Structure 1
């Protein structure tokens, strides 16, 4: 495969470093260790190409995916002849590369929401201008851009006049308009279609795109060419699918907006029009592994849009190891290289059960001998499957063992991560009085709270103030000291009214906490200032566009609402507010690219918490390649460094690290060493606590791409699917005929990894280097 395609000097260097011996996919790929390095290889290849094509046509992606590509490109340009710059260039095949000049390149914008003002910071037009045209010093005169404000519509009107609700009904392309406004809308849609055709022609007049870089969506989309897009599609105004809308929800301020917003996108044929183009798709994290496999191993097919890169001799995928993990090449290499481990035996047997759709006890020795992976098991025998079954039974036994006299510190990057990941396991621990439990969410989580939720809450708060139902503000010392007191009472009041099914009083409990938060944040001194401040916040939010970055004080208010929600969940089980710790790490800013964790700002607060609580068990989300939001990856970096520093201060040989995953990415059975049974009652507790406590999340404004609804439903489905996997090995009767009620009542399973400190730090993939060596 390698000989069939021309590799650049940069690609040869990275290929050699990766150690990959065989590439059998329909599109070549290069593999690197981690997400930051993915940015490095992409930046090197881009600059290598620009050096050879200083007047070429480029098209680069928006969003969070290209963060390290942008940072490495800027770093290399600024340090081309510095010591480190020369070292990087020498290592990756660029010693003889002439320093590229970017000012004469033609930049083509890949896509844009429609309609959206180009003045909004969350428009791709703004992103392109900030990070590429200005950030890379590209020519604005040469750029071919999508500016919604400048697309001429019927009668020369602005899109806000033609589409006052910002919704574009594409059925008007094919039906008669019902009124004068629809007539204008129909004429405008035709004009947009004409504009898209002219946009396509501008690109073709330049010879087509010479260097294309894009990410890949959960449905396989590149640009906004979603699943099912025509392989010969061109620039067009089009709708998107749910998966794409869910991913875009973060940019636009919620699924309520992204579900109703159309897009203008270049087509698949636009990307491949120039047969000599370099076309690169980048993907990081194991959550992307299934769609990467389908895109690389499937013949050209509109169900997998990225397969269109098969048309290009310079078509490539650049992947992290996690994103490549399901490729046949990776599987072959995993089983063929290195020592044969017990994990390999477990994985091959359980995968064979799925492949043949056979229960474990029905697998025959011939089944194992005829499979290319199980046939490699050393000392393969009739008893091999039984040994795997025994191993899984031990994992379940560990998950049902009662823990005593433990100091537990459960952590999560976001509010709801702990609940969605391991709530049934936590409730088992909390039932034992000898255990001491603490919970800590490491970021403020304000980005998950919509403006409309805050506006509605504040309007309700004003009404309650008018009606005298927030009595605490009338106490003489409330604005000096009283606002700090009785936070546990807020929680108890709220949950009492959950029990009594009184939604009005439940809302009153939330409003009490919001008043306290406003007094803290704005240093309010009396009731009139409180009312004025509430009005000011409402006014700011009403005059903000969806997805706009909020002022810092509103960010803090949103974060404190999320913190109250977290306290409510754990109060279900008697956990006091003082045992729920809110760290608000500073790297979490709400910017498109959050900063890298810093030792003083982000690591020391975690280290101080560890010293104070002195846990015997520490849980955390184990997502080394950032399969979910990039916050997971960065929190893991900071936590790993804090644990590493703590280990230098004291003996941590008895500390256990519990690595869990949730709705963004799940463990495979062979990766976990503890399996916890989940009953219908456990699922109900999780669903009820989520619905009753995470009020800002119930409407799922920022849903998972796998489900248009609450995250709790996604978590439940994962637990059920994990039971299905284990039942296929052990048989269903193992569960419903089991001697213990805990296992008999299982209708789902939770997987996690129990590690010592050394195992955790090794698993975190040299994150100290990621922190200190980052550009």
Structure 2
């Protein structure tokens, strides 16, 4: 049955990131083929980050295996940190050449990325020239966007006006926090960026916004179903005649048609959907599952669920039993055995299955956790400095050997002070960061037995 929709812009939901990348790559390829056949240029607006990597790899595959020619493709990137040297580890110039341009053999003169080295006094004129270059190229045929947790497109942060053009912007605190790991600490993330404005983006003939992962689900719902508002720049896309949100399943999880489709019309009831609906209702009305009433169901668009089962009590009991059956008590876990747990990083094991680990230990199992990485890159430099300070103060308190390691710690502090953002740590610093993560992992495991 077709449901009504609360979505104010076209949405395509794919089963996984790979399917989404293939669909979008084929759309881009079709534009390039059409332009090549007509002897015309194709102009693309491109984004960076982890989300479009799959798309870029698929375009590279099409170029290599199907021989699609990208020599008559012009590109304009959405944004760049400011200031930013193009050779920097975090430069979007470097990102684009490493992940796309080089492999597609696009001539360098066909590529335009905002210049993070322009003197600040010249930025206004530079930004005007950026928009002028897009206009001179005939406008952007296909614009690729991502979406930040603050709802930004490009770096159009909360408060961006609809009429904005390419400009310098101060980055939102959420944006800088999200970029912290790329810059090895939030303190290293630039405060500003050059970005195409909302109007610059909206001028594109076709726009595709990609979003993946459950961490984007909330802002995706706001952008797709909410009112247009400057605080969420992505909502402006609702007013574009040819904009589409491409989502994987996790990113679509909070859309009404996915999370609560019964609010839109009659639905087919099956066990998983029944469980989701009853848990949602329980949270909504603030009562436990077994205390939900017929009125609760009737007042919240769930009358058909009660009708299917005959009574609210029957629905409540069925769902309650399903939920209880999913809880693995000690009696349903192995006892007296050797258990090996693989964890991608330290702490992932306890965060994802701490309760199960405790029950396994209580059942007399010999539990071993194998960490697949040291996790040292997740330790920021300021954490190392803090532990060095702790160690030095501890020496003073304990007395024996106090000051013996001052010289060595001084060398490590100097190495940290000399290190540029993104530069590889010295072996000693890497070892210290590994030990910090080991200590955190051991402490976490001790908490579960």
With the shorter chain as reference, the TM-score category is: 0.7 to 0.9
Q: Is the 8 A contact 1:122 1:548 kept in 2?
A: no
Q: Distance in 1 between matches of 2:328 and 2:382?
A: 45
Offset of residue 107 of structure 1: 1.6
Deviations 1:404-430 (A, max 9, x none): 435343433221222333435534543
Q: Is the 8 A contact 1:289 1:323 kept in 2?
A: yes
Which residue does 1:172 correspond to in 2?
Answer: none
Offset of residue 137 of structure 1: 2.2
2:161 to 223, 230, 243: 230
After superposition, the Cα gap between the structure-2 partners of 1:379 and 1:130, relative to the gap in structure 1 and judged at 3 Å, is: same
Equivalence map 1:164-243=2 (5 Å): 188=121, 191-243=122-174
Offset of residue 80 of structure 1: 0.6
Equivalence map 1:414-563=2 (5 Å): 414-430=345-361, 432=362, 434-454=364-384, 535=411, 541-550=416-425, 558-563=433-438
SS in 1 for 2:209: strand
Q: Is the 8 A contact 2:355 2:448 kept in 1?
A: no
Offset of residue 365 of structure 1: 1.5
Q: Distance in 2 between matches of 1:572 and 1:504?
A: 30
Offset of residue 503 of structure 1: 8.5
Deviations 1:556-610 (A, max 9, x none): 6644542343234435677xxxxxxxxxxxxxxxxxxxxxxxxxxxxxxxxxxxx
Deviations 1:442-485 (A, max 9, x none): 22323212245446767998x79xxxxxxxxxxxxxxxxxxxxx
2:243 to 294, 307, 315: 315
Which residue does 1:48 correspond to in 2?
Answer: 30
Q: Distance in 2 between matches of 1:74 and 1:22?
A: 39
Deviations 1:494-543 (A, max 9, x none): xxxxxxxx59789x9xxx9xx9xxxxxxxxxxxxxx96x995x7666544
Which residue does 2:109 correspond to in 1?
Answer: 141
SS in 2 for 1:108: strand
After superposition, the Cα gap between the structure-2 partners of 1:504 and 1:113, relative to the gap in structure 1 and judged at 3 Å, is: farther
Q: Distance in 2 between matches of 1:370 and 1:210?
A: 48
After superposition, the Cα gap between the structure-2 partners of 1:374 and 1:415, relative to the gap in structure 1 and judged at 3 Å, is: farther
Q: Distance in 2 between matches of 1:357 and 1:503?
A: 54
Q: How many residues align?
A: 437
TM (norm. structure 2) is 0.82
Work out whether 1:70 is the aligned partner of 2:56.
Answer: yes
Q: Distance in 1 between matches of 2:331 and 2:161?
A: 54
TM (norm. structure 1) is 0.50
Which residue does 2:82 correspond to in 1?
Answer: 114
SS in 2 for 1:281: strand
After superposition, the Cα gap between the structure-2 partners of 1:551 and 1:123, relative to the gap in structure 1 and judged at 3 Å, is: farther
Equivalence map 1:637-676=2 (5 Å): none
Deviations 1:2-22 (A, max 9, x none): xxxxxxxxxxxxxxxxx9998
Work out whether 1:33 is the aligned partner of 2:15.
Answer: yes
Q: Is the 8 A contact 1:335 1:344 kept in 2?
A: no
Q: Distance in 2 between matches of 1:273 and 1:134?
A: 28
After superposition, the Cα gap between the structure-2 partners of 1:352 and 1:540, relative to the gap in structure 1 and judged at 3 Å, is: same
After superposition, the Cα gap between the structure-2 partners of 1:373 and 1:412, relative to the gap in structure 1 and judged at 3 Å, is: farther
Q: Is the 8 A contact 1:38 1:318 kept in 2?
A: yes
SS in 1 for 2:66: coil
Offset of residue 215 of structure 1: 1.5
After superposition, the Cα gap between the structure-2 partners of 1:573 and 1:31, relative to the gap in structure 1 and judged at 3 Å, is: closer
Q: Distance in 1 between matches of 2:395 and 2:2?
A: 59
Offset of residue 31 of structure 1: 2.1
After superposition, the Cα gap between the structure-2 partners of 1:544 and 1:57, relative to the gap in structure 1 and judged at 3 Å, is: farther
Q: Is the 8 A contact 1:335 1:373 kept in 2?
A: no
